[in-house]
């Protein structure tokens, strides 16, 4: 049953080897649950005495069912994956590879079964040793506790002192490199330039990419048809100070140096992992503001986003608070009539970390002039509280909050167009219905979420269903390649940011034609 369930569609298309892993985990869970149910039944005193003939018939029926359902659902699973691929606009895969799903699933399931039986043998041996000194029930309980504690200790030790240690050291080395085509900027408006106090080689790989990128004043003028300024981009790398707070202060110093507080709009960005900023969101922000803008960002870790997502959730929060508070403090000293608009944006862990500077949705509205929070993880706050307190009748995947007075949610930019008035400041949570980063949660193990009770989003296969344990592992593995899909699906957020920034900031004289030109310019830049 769990084998069959695991092949059903989920949020995004999965390559065959990840499907094999998901299926193997599901099979092992199904076997474990079957053993648990059988044990509970026996403990309740129910032990059917089947005859040999009945047992033989039962096994033959089970074998016959498996011989039919396993190949049938391998075929169906490969077909469902083609449908999902068509839905998100990625090329179809070779369906014959799905034959290998069975092999991988069996290997994964057997490895997990062996691990489980190893733990059981350890528990039995400890119980046998302990019942010489205490009653057997007490010895059994103590053995279980000891084995679980040891297992958790070994896993935690291996992860934090082993895997993460190696990953951080190797990531720090990789961070010294520079992406192909990235050249040190000469403009004084950029950190890392000859005029900057931040040396080029301290910015980190993603920081160098960020300050060297973005549209020039000439490009903005060409696209918008209006005169433009050179956008300011300031950045500080993790190496620039001993603490996250120290790095944030260096960012503020760069804002002062570049006279960023004299611009029309200033954006505070919390980055992801090693310091990545979504080029589409940043570029769209600069186009919409005619270059009369500044973006402040910083690096807080050497770990890739995937590892930070799993094992390092404190640093993004600390960085998000430190950077916003440092910029906010400097911004607040300016006369109110001379301050730039202060906005925040961030994607994924950046959205999670950036939100930590605020106690609630109203706090974001009170302390900023707008926000664009993209692909927010399910564990982020205040996103979680805002979603839970949505207006009755609105969907979890697309909440309506206070009739959309200040805060709105969008999967597609047009979703932000609600019937009622949209007051300033405007806050947008941009999240795709097919983004596993947003919808992954441990609650998926045993609880069907509202987003799978409601009508599914247009970018989700209508055949997706919640299945206990299985859906959790499907969505978990969907995250692996969640950004490797076309813009508008999964965790890929692209040029559509231009329309959302235009909605949030409402610049004078802006129209849909200008939005379309910006989107085309960003798409062309991405394809280069």
DSSP of 335-366 = -GGGPPEEEEEEETHHHHHHHTT-SSHHHHHH
All residues at 6 or more sequence positions from 317 whose CB lies less than 8 Å from its CB, including other chains: 352, 353, 356
Same domain? For 50 and 108 the reply is yes
- Does residue 497 fall inside a structural domain? no
Boundary residue ending a domain (374, 395, 416): 374
- Does residue 218 fall inside a structural domain? yes
Same domain? For 100 and 50 the reply is yes
Same domain? For 160 and 199 the reply is no
Same domain? For 220 and 76 the reply is no
Contact call for residues 285 and 297 (beta carbons, < 8 A): no
Same domain? For 199 and 262 the reply is yes
Contact call for residues 317 and 356 (beta carbons, < 8 A): yes
Same domain? For 317 and 233 the reply is yes
Boundary residue ending a domain (319, 340, 374): 374
Q: For residue 276, what are the β-bridge partners?
A: 272
Chain center to CA of 424 = 28
- 3-class secondary structure per residue, 168-196: HHHHHHHCCCCCCCCCCCCCCCECCCCCC
| Measured distance CA(417)–CA(377) in Å, rounded | 24
- Domain total in the chain: 2
| pLDDT of 177 | 83
Same domain? For 127 and 193 the reply is no
CATH of the domain at 260: 3.40.50
Same domain? For 101 and 236 the reply is no
Same domain? For 335 and 365 the reply is yes
- Does residue 58 fall inside a structural domain? yes
| pLDDT of 224 | 95
Question: What is the dihedral sign for C-alpha 378, 382, 384, 390?
Answer: negative
| Measured distance CA(398)–CA(526) in Å, rounded | 28
Same domain? For 201 and 125 the reply is no
| Measured distance CA(23)–CA(9) in Å, rounded | 12
Same domain? For 246 and 283 the reply is yes
Quick: pLDDT tens for 209-243.
999 999 999 999 999 999 999 999 999 998 899 99
Q: Is 453 helix (H, G, I), strand (E, B) or coil?
A: coil
| pLDDT of 314 | 84
| Measured distance CA(138)–CA(420) in Å, rounded | 64
Quick: pLDDT tens for 51-78.
999 999 999 999 999 999 999 999 999 9
- Does residue 462 fall inside a structural domain? no
- Does residue 444 fall inside a structural domain? no
| pLDDT of 165 | 61
- Does residue 37 fall inside a structural domain? yes
Closest of 523, 504, 496, 515 to residue 225, by C-alpha: 515
Residue ranges making up the domain that contains 31: 2-171
Same domain? For 103 and 36 the reply is yes
| pLDDT of 368 | 98
Boundary residue ending a domain (134, 150, 171): 171
Average pLDDT across each block of 10 residues of the chain; the chain has 528 residues. List them in order. 94 92 95 92 86 93 94 92 92 85 95 90 85 81 82 64 60 75 96 96 94 96 96 95 95 97 97 92 98 96 70 85 97 94 96 96 97 96 97 96 97 95 97 96 95 94 94 94 93 96 95 96 79
Q: Is 528 helix (H, G, I), strand (E, B) or coil?
A: coil
């Amino acid at each position: 049953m769990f084998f069959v369930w695991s092949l059903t569609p989920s949020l995004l298309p999965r390559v065959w080897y990840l499907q094999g892993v998901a299926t193997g985990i599901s099979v092992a869970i199904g076997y474990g649950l079957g053993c648990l149910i059988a044990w509970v039944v026996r403990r309740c005193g129910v032990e059917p005495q089947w005859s040999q003939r009945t047992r033989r018939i039962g096994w033959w029926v089970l074998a016959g069912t498996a011989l039919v359902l396993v190949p049938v659902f391998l075929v169906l699973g490969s077909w469902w994956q083609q449908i999902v691929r068509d839905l998100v606009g990625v090329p179809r895969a070779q369906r014959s590879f799905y034959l290998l799903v069975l092999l991988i699933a069996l290997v994964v399931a057997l490895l997990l079964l062996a691990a489980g039986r190893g733990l059981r043998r350890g528990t039995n041996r400890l119980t046998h040793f302990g019942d010489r000194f205490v009653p057997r029930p007490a010895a059994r309980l103590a053995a279980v506790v000891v084995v679980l504690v040891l297992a958790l200790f070994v896993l935690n030790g291996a992860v934090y002192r082993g895997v993460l240690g190696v990953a951080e050291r190797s990531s720090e080395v990789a961070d010294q490199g520079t992406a192909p085509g990235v050249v040190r900027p000469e403009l004084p408006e950029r950190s890392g330039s000859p005029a900057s106090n931040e040396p080029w080689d301290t910015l980190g790989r993603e920081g160098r990419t960020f300050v060297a990128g973005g549209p020039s004043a000439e490009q903005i003028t060409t696209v918008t048809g209006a005169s433009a300024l050179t956008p300011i981009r300031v950045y500080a790398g993790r190496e620039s100070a001993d603490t996250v707070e120290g790095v944030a202060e260096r960012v503020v110093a760069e804002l002062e140096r570049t006279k960023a507080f004299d611009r029309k709009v200033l954006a505070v960005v919390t980055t992801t992992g090693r310091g990545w900023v979504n080029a589409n969101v940043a570029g769209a922000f600069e186009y919409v503001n005619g270059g009369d803008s500044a973006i402040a960002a910083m690096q807080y870790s050497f770990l890739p986003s995937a590892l930070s997502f799993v094992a390092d959730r404190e640093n993004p929060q600390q960085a998000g608070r430190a950077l916003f508070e440092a910029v906010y403090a400097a911004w607040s000293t300016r006369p109110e009539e001379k301050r730039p608009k202060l906005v925040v944006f961030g994607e994924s862990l950046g959205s999670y970390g950036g939100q930590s500077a605020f106690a609630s949705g109203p706090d974001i509205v009170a302390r900023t002039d707008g926000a664009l929070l993209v692909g927010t993880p399910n564990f982020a706050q205040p996103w979680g509280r805002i979603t839970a307190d949505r207006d009755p009748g609105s969907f979890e995947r697309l909440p309506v909050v206070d009739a959309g007075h200040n805060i709105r949610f969008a999967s597609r930019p047009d979703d932000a167009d609600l019937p009622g008035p949209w007051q300033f400041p405007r806050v947008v949570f941009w999240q795709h219905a097919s983004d596993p980063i947003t919808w992954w949660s441990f609650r998926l193990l045993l609880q069907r979420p509202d987003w799978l009770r409601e009508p599914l989003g247009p970018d989700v296969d209508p055949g997706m269903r919640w299945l206990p344990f299985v859906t959790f592992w499907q969505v978990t593995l969907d995250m692996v390649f969640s950004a490797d899909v076309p813009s508008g699906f999964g965790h890929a957020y692209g040029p559509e940011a231009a329309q959302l920034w235009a909605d949030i900031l409402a610049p004078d004289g802006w129209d849909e034609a200008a939005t379309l030109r910006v989107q085309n310019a960003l798409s062309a830049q991405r394809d280069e």
